[in-house]
Structure 1
Amino acid sequence: MKAVAKVRIISPLQVCRKHANWVPPTPPSSPTFGNPCLDLFFRLVEPNTPVKRQANLNYLNQFLPLAWSHNPLTTLKLICNLHYDPHGPGKEHAQGFNSAASWLHHNHPKTLVCNLPAIAAGFRSFEKVLVILYRILEGKDPHYSITLLTEAIEETEDKIAMAKKALDRYERDPHYRFLHDRVSDLFADCLKSDIENFKELKQKKSQSQSDDDDHNYCLELTRAARWCPHVDSLYDCTTLLSESIAKKIFPRISYQGFEENEADHADRARQLLMKEVLLPLEAPLEEQSGYQFEWRTNHRASCPDRKYLEEVKAGGKSKIEAGAMLPHKIIEYVYDCDELRHVAELQWKVMVEDVYLKQCKFRNCLAICDVSGNMMRVPMDVSVALGLLVSELNQEPAWKGKVITFNRNPQLLAIQGDDLRSKCAFVRRMDSQEWHCKVDFQKVFDLILEAAVNGNLRPEQMITKVFVFTIYFDFDEISANQWETDYEAIKSKFKEKGYGNVVPHLVVWNLSQDKSTQAVPCTQPGVTMLSGFITNNLVESFLDNDGDIFPDHVMEAALSPRKYQSLVVVD
């Protein structure tokens, strides 16, 4: 069997540490309602019309200086949060990110440059680094496509004019020159590392004793070759970036054959960049090549949750760690992984008993779980898991193990089932069969009041919060009636039965994965609206704070992933 090389895509930060003059991040100040950082976070989403787009950019330009004055590091993270992230809380606001990067260049150029490796690494975006340089030079975003980087253009007067413009800007603008040099440093460092690793792999394979060698090799590469502008491409002619990169990889003073003048050196270096670096690295980065890609393995097979459950099952853990997994992650394995289902059930039991019951969290709370057909996989898992968890944490018999259905004729149901899987199935079956149903909240509170009266409960035993887990943000979208009218009737009924001071508070959490739905959470009488892209950190914050989630919690959760921790402010 022939040897197989596994390609492991590595971080540019790992290669470019010599340029990383990091300073320790300063702890962010405590966000408060109405601060400019929160305004930026909640109000900036990708607009869908030209008019809204311009208004959005005007808002960005207005609030960036205010937010930076309030908290520079948080603002820097918010700028990077505008970048598209298909698997996380980042927003799909390309123009916003590009505009904010230009603002950084003009106001904090060292901070922008210092964070280029972090942008290329944590945000998987060598492309964005190129767009930043192009925008600073041309004053507009490129009409981006891969042909901009790869297809050569013929020698024309326009090509010469573009080169003269780029050279003139480079020579007269020190801030642009600084940015250009650091972008070329980033690519040169990564490409040198990549080609060295590639050559080492070829040497190891050539030293193999036979074609039957069954050794598996690992080739560590960045994506720099995938995004490096090809010589004489439109992007190269506009920025002259390829020449800068080539001359750093093949300098005159250390490379034989470069005794000629500077112009000849530039031409030779560019030719070598294509022949000896970019072309050899094409194959390992092509998905249809004979290489195996580490990132193409089954995600769940290598995720920490699965590894933890497998260790518990194998007896490698002497004790189950109660807080090792979040509720919605546990039920994933209960439903989809037969070999680990029993261990996941044990994990749930330990989590409920050791983490939440002992801390007396979510006592006297109920959940309304939207499990209708428009709930996608992740929101559905979160709705079911949190609904079950809240039901099991109740101490009063009137509330324990119960949940409320999401429809116009709600019911207070006791969850049936002998194990976690059957209980999850019960909650999922509560679907009203309506694609977009609404909830009669006055009937919900009637059910709660009736149960309290029938159980002779004292006011302190009354439900304190009713959580609604859905994918709708606008309260009018889920309420069957006008809330203000309903709320007055609810208060009157509770007062009449002796519960006037303990009317439950309604907390509606929009679990939608649509990043364009984020808006400033608003509060109506007796209601709190919450919206936020579902992340582990946001769910943890919800659980840690007993369901009391405010805008600053949502922002902190969105900016807490590891990739944001590499960002630094230096000027």
Structure 2
Amino acid sequence: MKLVNMLLPKKCIFNMCFGDGLKLPHHVVASLEKDQCGADEIAEVQWRRLVQQLRNKRKLRNCIAVCDVPDSRRGSLKEMVCISMGLLASDLSEKPWQGSVFPFSDFPRLHKIKGDNLKSRCEFMRNIVCAEKVDFSKIYNGVLHIATTEKLSNAEMPKSIFVFTYREFDKASKNDWVLDYREAVKNYSKRGYAYVPRLVFWNLKGSIAEPEVIGSHVVKNHNAGMIITGFSNTLLSLFCNGESNPGTYAARVAQGHVDGIDLVSLQRFAPKVEDVMEWALSNEELTSLFIFD
């Protein structure tokens, strides 16, 4: 990813994912902190445009966010990312998940995000009580309880649970996650649901590392989840761009087709060296170069 950031202009990948003139979600949220006349109204308009753009592309429709926003991180980049991505996922998702978020907690329950505007909704997110660890079994059970109460079909179930935090996965889970997941598969199956939502645990802290698949051998034919470590604007742009057709994104970008990237398949997301070089050399500014041996 460092090589990708260096070789491809950041605005290029951002514009392909969002469109010219739009800001990244955490940049919009950060602008609310500016003590400038009209800053809140401008941020509100930018947020609505961003949500509409992604909604038109039908991105992040079936997902739920779990957000870690402790007081100790107030005002930090990580807090801005957690808040903005939690809000974005809740705005883009469909009912009954729309407008709701899980806190990073020992006793997580789905919170309906309150507020009349972007600033008040961000403040609501900041005031949600978070803990050092999260109980994934209660999140799985909470989703299942809502699904059975609302009599949702398999198609209406959330496909992914995105966790935005700055903690390491093995230290953040209150229980043995493998046992929680196995129990969830049994419970969902009993109630007629074909799958448990995939878990994408995004540890925003530290440098970008190779994604780690989790639970691949826990239950046959189940895509349990993945751990993502690190953060960059490019990675966030690609994440927001979509959920399907993973493949090698470098080849897609080189051909000018960014159809979407499944974050849960990020083991295929990292390009090979030759893909990155082809991508980089396909830039317009380099087309007139000659190679002399």
State the TM-score, normalizing by the size of structure 1. 0.39
Please show how residues 218-257 of structure 1 align to structure 2 within 5 Å. none
5+ residue gaps, structure 1, are 1-37, 42-76, 79-88, 91-117, 119-303, 305-320
1:430 matched to 2:128? The reply is yes
CA distance in 2, matches of 1:411, 1:492: 21
1:520 matched to 2:210? The reply is yes
SS at match of 1:523: strand
CA distance in 1, matches of 2:121, 2:31: 14
Q: Which moved more, 1:364-373 or 1:519-528?
A: 519-528
Match of 1:496 in 2: 190
Match of 1:326 in 2: 24
Match of 1:404 in 2: 102
Identity of aligned residues (%): 31
CA distance in 2, matches of 1:323, 1:554: 27
Q: Is the 8 A contact 2:106 2:133 kept in 1?
A: yes
The structure richer in helix per residue is 1
1:370 matched to 2:60? The reply is no
Which is greater in Rg?
A: 1
CA distance in 2, matches of 1:523, 1:323: 35
Match of 2:262 in 1: 548
Q: 1:346 to 1:487 in 2, by over 3 A?
A: same
Structure 1 segments (4+ residues) deviating >6 Å: 565-571
SS at match of 1:336: coil
1:477 matched to 2:171? The reply is yes
Structure 1, residues 283-320: CA drift from partner, whole Å, max 9, x if none? xxxxxxxxxxxxxxxxxxxxx9xxxxxxxxxxxxxxxx
Q: Is the 8 A contact 1:334 1:341 kept in 2?
A: yes
SS at match of 1:403: strand
Q: Is the 8 A contact 1:362 1:390 kept in 2?
A: yes
SS at match of 1:347: helix
Q: Is the 8 A contact 1:469 1:508 kept in 2?
A: yes
Shift of residue 496, structure 1, vs aligned partner = 1.1
Q: Is the 8 A contact 1:367 1:467 kept in 2?
A: yes
Q: Is the 8 A contact 1:410 1:440 kept in 2?
A: yes
Please show how residues 142-541 of structure 1 align to structure 2 within 5 Å. 324-339=22-37, 340-353=39-52, 355-375=53-73, 377-396=76-95, 398-432=96-130, 434=131, 437-473=132-168, 475-499=169-193, 501-512=194-205, 514-515=206-207, 518-525=208-215, 526-532=224-230, 534-541=231-238
Shift of residue 551, structure 1, vs aligned partner = 4.8
SS at match of 2:32: helix
CA distance in 2, matches of 1:457, 1:323: 38
SS at match of 1:335: coil
Q: Quick one: which amino acid aligns to residue 519 of structure 1?
A: A
SS at match of 2:33: helix
CA distance in 2, matches of 1:488, 1:467: 19
The alignment covers a number of residue pairs equal to 243
Please show how residues 72-91 of structure 1 align to structure 2 within 5 Å. 77=3
Q: 1:458 to 1:497 in 2, by over 3 A?
A: same
CA distance in 2, matches of 1:548, 1:374: 32
CA distance in 2, matches of 1:359, 1:480: 36
Q: Is the 8 A contact 1:471 1:511 kept in 2?
A: yes
Match of 1:158 in 2: none
Shift of residue 548, structure 1, vs aligned partner = 2.2
RMSD of aligned Cα (Å): 3.0
Shift of residue 554, structure 1, vs aligned partner = 6.0
Q: Quick one: which amino acid aligns to residue 460 of structure 1?
A: A
Q: 1:570 to 1:386 in 2, by over 3 A?
A: farther
Structure 1, residues 431-458: CA drift from partner, whole Å, max 9, x if none? 32x4xx1111000011100111111111
Q: Is the 8 A contact 2:133 2:174 kept in 1?
A: yes
Shift of residue 422, structure 1, vs aligned partner = 0.4
CA distance in 2, matches of 1:323, 1:411: 36
SS at match of 2:227: strand
